[in-house]
């Protein structure tokens, strides 16, 4: 569950939100609609923790992790649908990237070996082994059929 309590946001004198309270509950898929400039993007930035609200709190269940993708969807053109979903887990993707770098070193040192071991354990702790199947389940739950998971924005 994602819980929004008493969120207000002001830019100077301008009040964008005043005392917003919402609970996003499991099993539902939510969309936010509103006129241009109404504050949709700003609200999502508050939800994801990118910016702080003037008042109020956003809370999730203990241990819950939030995945967030950039609003600029062109940012994922180089990746297929499944990869793009996984990129929402930025910390895991950083670990995967560093793991690839370390293993790709032509002069793999003892220190590199230790770092690789650390990265492997971080990867496992973060559910790295299940990340792909979790992303596939998430997409399927949203109604995106498996036949589309390997596709890219350019139609590949």
Ligand X SMILES: Nc1ncnc2c1ncn2[C@@H]1O[C@H](COP(=O)(O)OP(=O)(O)O)[C@@H](O)[C@H]1O
Q: Is 41 in the site for Mg ion (CB under 5 A)?
A: yes
Binding part of the chain for Mg ion, among 20-28, 34-42, 48-56, 78-86 by CB under 5 A, reads 34-42
The candidate with the shortest Cα–Cα distance to 136, out of 96, 79, 83, 94, is 83
Q: Is 39 in the site for ligand X (CB under 6 A)?
A: yes
* Complex with ligand X: residue 37 or 62, whichever CB lies closer: 37
Q: Residues 93, 98, 103, 108: what is their CA dihedral angle, to the nearest 10 degrees? A: -170
| Shortest spacing between CB 71 and ligand X, in angstroms | 8
How far out from the chain centre does Cα 95 lie? 15
Structural tokens at position 56: 């109020």
Structural tokens at position 25: 């509950």
List of residues contacting Mg ion (CB under 5 A) = 40-41
Contact residues for ligand X, defined by CB under 6 A: 11, 16, 34, 36-42
């Amino acid at each position: 569950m994602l819980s929004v309590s008493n969120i207000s946001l002001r830019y100077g004198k301008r009040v964008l939100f005043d005392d917003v309270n919402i609970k996003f509950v499991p099993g539902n898929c939510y969309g936010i609609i509103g006129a241009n400039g109404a504050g949709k993007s700003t609200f999502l930035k508050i939800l994801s923790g990118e910016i702080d609200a003037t008042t109020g709190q956003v809370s999730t269940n203990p241990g819950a992790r939030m995945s967030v993708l950039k609003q600029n969807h062109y940012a994922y053109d180089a990746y297929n649908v499944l990869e793009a979903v996984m990129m929402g887990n930025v910390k895991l993707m950083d670990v995967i990237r560093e793991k690839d770098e370390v293993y790709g070193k032509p002069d793999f040192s003892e220190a590199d070996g230790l770092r690789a071991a650390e990265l492997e354990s971080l990867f496992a702790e973060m559910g790295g082994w299940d990340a792909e199947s979790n992303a596939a389940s998430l997409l399927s739950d949203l109604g995106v059929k498996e036949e589309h998971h390997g596709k890219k924005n350019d139609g590949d």
